[in-house]
Chain A
Amino acid sequence: EVQLVESGGGLVQPGGSLRLSCAASGFTFSSYWMHWVRQAPGKGLVWVSRIKSDGSSTRYADSVKGRFTISRDNAKNTLYLQMNSLRAEDTAVYYCARDDYGDAYVYWGQGTLVTVSS
């Protein structure tokens, strides 16, 4: 069974940092591109970042470029999102998702909540 389990969310002050993890199981993690998608409270889904299966290529939404870094450890079957210089508008539930059909996602994690507030 495919499973994606996010962790690392929590309350952080503006300007702070947080690292999210997404532990994958039930499939060959190293064969899939992976994504982060977020949803702010009461708002819609927003794509955040994408990483190629071997980690050699990454892309970011303009709103997080230069502040967030996506990475992966294929030996540990884990996807990461390092978030620096956090802002109130980064408050959201963050989902990791597997790229199943060219940027379409069948499998998602359950989400982890990040709250940026003083």
Chain B
Amino acid sequence: DIQMTQSPSSLSASVGDRVTITCRASQSISNYLNWYQHKPGKAPNLLISSASTLQSGVPSRFSGSGSGTDFTLTISSLQPEDFATYYCQQSYSTPITFGQGTRLEIK
């Protein structure tokens, strides 16, 4: 199974900050990497697919990069609605695996 490791596990930041979350795969997954935002009581929201493709309706302050084993999600200027938990997910092979999540909190 491919293990996905996110860092940090939690992060405190302020509105307007630039934030980067990293995700590392235990083996190469090419660009089969997706990012989700998840808020309590809601369904997860796909932000980025194929490592860097921004989904329709997702603000341009979100961006993704990377390939192989190392990936990043960047939020260029945090907004109040961005405080949530973020997950990376590899779709290279089954079993599909998620990172453990990064909880983004207000400082």
Interface residues of A (CB under 8 A from B): 35, 37, 44-47, 50, 59-62, 95, 100-106, 108-111
Apart from the given pairs A44-B101, A59-B95, A111-B43, 12 other A-B contacts in the complex at a CB distance below 8 Å: A37-B44, A45-B36, A45-B98, A46-B98, A47-B96, A101-B91, A103-B32, A103-B96, A104-B50, A105-B36, A106-B55, A108-B43
A60 to B, closest residue via Cβ: B95
Which residues of the other chain, A, contact B34 by a CB distance below 8 angstroms?
Answer: 101, 103-104
Check if B62 is an interface residue, CB within 8 A of chain A. no
B44 to A, closest residue via Cβ: A108
Partner of A104, one of B38, B49, B99, B100: B49
Interface core residue of A37, A44, A62 (most chain B CB under 10 Å):
A44
Which residues of the other chain, B, contact A59 by a CB distance below 8 angstroms?
Answer: 94-95
Number of interface residues of B (CB under 8 A): 24
A95 and B94 form a contact (CB under 8 A)? no
Q: Which of B33-53 contact A (CB under 8 A)?
A: 34, 36, 38, 42-44, 46, 49-50
A109 to B, closest residue via Cβ: B43
Check if B7 is an interface residue, CB within 8 A of chain A. no
Which residues of the other chain, B, contact A61 by a CB distance below 8 angstroms?
Answer: 95
User: What are 17 A-B residue pairs whose CB atoms fall within 8 Å in the complex?
Assistant: A44-B87, A44-B101, A45-B44, A45-B87, A45-B101, A50-B94, A59-B95, A60-B95, A62-B1, A95-B43, A95-B44, A101-B50, A102-B91, A103-B91, A103-B96, A104-B34, A108-B43
B49 and A110 form a contact (CB under 8 A)? no
